[in-house]
Amino acid sequence: MSVVTRERNRQAWMSSNGVLASRRVALEPKLAPAIPLTANAEAAQFRPEIAALRAVAVLGVSLCHLKISAFDGGFVGVDIFFVISGYLISRNTLLDLRQNRFSFTNFYIRRSRRILPALIFTVVVTFVVGALWLPPDAFRQLAKESTHALLSISNIQYWRESKQYFATASDQLALLHCWSLSLEEQFYLFWPALLFWAFRLGRIATIILVMASVSFTLSILELTRDPQAAFFLTPFRIFEFSIGALIIFIEERIRVSNLIAESIAFGGMLAIGASYLTFNSTMPFPGFAVLLPCVGAAAIIFVGSNARTTCWLANPLAQAIGAISYSLYLCHWPLIFFTRFIFGAEVMTATTDAILIAIMGITATAMHFFVEKPFVHGRSRSLSPRLRTSILGYGGTVLVLVVITHTAFLQDGWAWRLSWEKQQLTELQRFGVVSCEAKSSSSSCAFGKFDAPLSVEIVGDSVAQQYVAALDPLLKQLGFRGETLTVGGCPILIGMALKGSQREACESRKKSILTRLRSSDGNVVLTQAWGGYNDDTTISDFGRLDLSSGEERSLAQLESSLEKTIEVLAVGRRKILLVGDQVRTNCKIDKGRLLPGPFWHAPQAPCPSINRDQITHSGERVNAVLERVAARWADRVTLIKPVDYFCDEECPVVRNGLWLYLDELHFTRAGSQYMGQRAENVFREFLIR
């Protein structure tokens, strides 16, 4: 068939307002006649139950983030938003395609006006407040978040960072909630083109159903391989938007009785309520579980106002919250984040929650009327020069802001905001590796006297890496250079591999480290988070089937791996210093609040010292393994137990106003230096003999 003939057939079909004239047209769903085809598709029909669903969704997310236990599952409000977006965007796009008026330019202009002003406002205000209160490390993180939020790739950032050993905790990310907006904006990039193509083929419902099936299948498979990817990345969430889109075709073809409509509406509400009350952040998600809130939301949209059960959704409060839901979603988390950061998590009482909810409501209402609404006109079908200029203005504004935020990131969070005294305090309470100079290898950095011959290499995971600050002053004094060969969270031991998604990356890095060590004979400081690599977290080539699972089997396998590693490393004149079990603290430390910012924030709550006998007892079985291995290689290996040097009768957590711990496992630079000073004689003897 020629292009002219196809175009004539299409025009004939369009002029008949969707009358089914051929098999191809028969497969095109006829949009519900109740939806008026107005000039602006986005305003085609107000649906009070959808406005109320928005209210339910944003309240669920907000109450979940306030850590109100009854709403642990409120995070599924995001999934409800995805279903709503899938329905509305698909409906409006198909309406425009039916009327031969769809324009990609108009679509993206409407989306930009709807999303960008409030998003830009939120990012700018959050960035400015962060510049006033956050310490450099936290502000550097916020600067990176701001850049990615403006570029609509926050979800990709958080997925990538989730794989890092020292990934920032979610409650220390001021723009964490922007991941869902980025994902939604990525959905907008391709979905109109997909609908346009499906419309031309006359297979809209089929193609959407295939997309949903593929996306859901991939999501289930990815959940077992990389749960963070399944959570954050767009391909594994497309099925949720597709569920919303498929409602259009269901409501066109199926008419239900009043009784069935009431049952469907009640079931939808029950599904959402059950999700809020029974889900929690520790469960695998999205997985099959996400279908419960998604189908629940779809059921309510499907029956609409035809069921009396949904009539309560039209109440003024629900409609008002639904109207400001976008602004409320944007502002709620930064308000919670900065309240916790400035005043401390301990102030988060029921009274504080109530005050915060009131502030959220006031802030969101103001944003809705003074930031959102002025930009969401959408009444004209034409693109006036003024409108085109405003779109260029959006792009220019984003570009300028990205330059500013990325500059703050590259400049390490603008430490110049702090006084000299605060900068010194910041340096001492960072992680112990800050004195390193990065080498070409991502797992290596140099310390000590940089232009001196290589004398010692620190090998292991992040527990090994922290000893840079302990050894750095001594190496400079002796005129030696050291380098690190460390990988956070990975056991650098032969015959021991991590379980889970990080296994391949860890093994690759370990292989590179061992290859380098085989080609040199420099002395080695070897340590790990020994007790963390047990039968639950690792796979051993030295499996002891004769021992039952548990600590005994884990320690036996650790001993075999360590022996094999020492055997490989003990070449030439190399000496090995084994560092025993790390002195741990059970204190919960908010590392973001350890460091000072330009303006005051409440200090970290004090932590008590740890009893030395407790530390000795907790590490005695691991240290016994290390003692046996060291004894077998007595001419090569020296063992040092941190508990013997770091602790007196008590093991300090804070000393002279300085925190010695970054978290329960790792020293700050101050803690590492304290350990280095107390064990200087052992380190010196090891280095110079």
Identify the DSSP state of 98. H
What's the pLDDT score for residue 339? 97
For residues 387 and 109, the answer to whether their CB atoms sit within 8 Å is yes
What's the pLDDT score for residue 285? 94
Cis peptide before 36 (omega within 30 of 0): no
Across the chain, which distance is largest between two alpha carbons, in Å? 94
CA distance 461 to 592: 22
Helix 48-65 vs helix 77-98: crossing angle, to nearest 10: 150
CA distance 76 to 559: 45
Q: What tokens does 647 get?
A: 């602790």
What's the pLDDT score for residue 245? 97
Nearest to 674 by CA among 519, 483, 470: 470
- List Cβ neighbours of 371 (8 Å cut-off, separation of 6 or more): 117, 118, 121, 327
CA distance 232 to 351: 33
Cα separations in angstroms, 569 against 453, 462, 522, 528, 628: 19, 20, 10, 16, 17
CA distance 186 to 190: 7
Using the structure block, give the residue that is written with the tokens 């089929």: 206
Buried b (16+ CB within 10 A) or exposed e, 450-485: eeeeebbbbbbbbbbbbbbbbbbbbbbebebbbbbb
CA distance 554 to 562: 12
CA distance 364 to 150: 20
Flag whether the pTM goes above 0.75.
yes
In the Cβ-directed half-sphere of 372, how many Cα atoms lie within 13 Å?
A: 20
Where are the alpha helices (H) located in 66-164, listed in sequence order? 77-98, 104-133, 136-150, 154-162
Cα separations in angstroms, 580 against 149, 529, 559, 620: 43, 9, 13, 10
DSSP track, 299-352: HHHHHGGGSGGGGGGGSHHHHHHHHTHHHHHHHHHHHHHHHHHHH-GGG--HHH
CA distance 617 to 610: 12
What's the pLDDT score for residue 605? 84
Using the structure block, give the residue that is written with the tokens 């004209």: 380
What's the pLDDT score for residue 390? 63
Nearest to 639 by CA among 626, 624, 648: 626
Task: Please list the rounded mean pLDDT of every run of 10 residues in the chain (689 residues).
Answer: 41 36 33 37 68 96 95 96 97 94 90 93 98 96 98 96 82 95 96 96 95 97 94 98 96 88 93 96 94 97 83 87 97 97 92 97 97 71 54 85 97 96 92 58 75 92 92 93 91 92 89 90 93 90 76 91 93 92 90 90 88 93 95 93 95 93 93 96 90
Q: What tokens does 43 get?
A: 């305003």
CA distance 74 to 272: 9
* Cα angle, residue 159 at apex, residues 153 and 162 outer, rounded to 5°: 140
- List Cβ neighbours of 437 (8 Å cut-off, separation of 6 or more): 445, 446, 447, 450
What's the pLDDT score for residue 32? 37
Nearest to 279 by CA among 292, 267, 263: 292
* Cα angle, residue 51 at apex, residues 185 and 338 outer, rounded to 5°: 60
* Rounded (10°) CA dihedral 218, 224, 226, 227: 90
Q: What is residue 451's three-state secondary structure?
A: coil
CA distance 422 to 616: 35
Residue 264 burial (10 A CB sphere; 0-12, 13-18, 19+): buried
What's the pLDDT score for residue 380? 43
* Rounded (10°) CA dihedral 338, 342, 346, 347: -80
* Count, residues in the chain: 689
Helix 669-678 vs helix 680-688: crossing angle, to nearest 10: 70
CA distance 648 to 653: 12
- List Cβ neighbours of 214 (8 Å cut-off, separation of 6 or more): none
- Going 79 to 82 to 84 to 90, the CA torsion angle's sign is negative
Cα separations in angstroms, 510 against 323, 436, 505, 556, 615: 54, 20, 9, 21, 30
Report the amino acid identity of residue 607. Answer: C
Q: What tokens does 417 get?
A: 């905001």
Number of H helices, E strands in the chain: 27, 13
CA distance 244 to 250: 10
What's the pLDDT score for residue 11? 43
Number of Cβ within 10 Å of residue 687's Cβ equals 20
For residues 154 and 433, the answer to whether their CB atoms sit within 8 Å is no
- Going 576 to 580 to 582 to 583, the CA torsion angle's sign is negative
CA distance 58 to 107: 25
DSSP track, 258-294: HHHHHHHHHHHHHHHHHHHHH--TTS--STGGGHHHH
Q: What is the pLDDT of residues 349-398, one digit of tens each?
A: 999 999 999 999 999 999 999 999 988 754 444 445 555 556 677 888 99
Q: What is residue 551's three-state secondary structure?
A: helix
DSSP track, 612-649: HHHHHHHHHHHHHHHHHHHHHTTTTEEEE-HHHHH-SS
CA distance 591 to 32: 55
Q: What tokens does 410 get?
A: 């590259």
Identify the DSSP state of 371. I
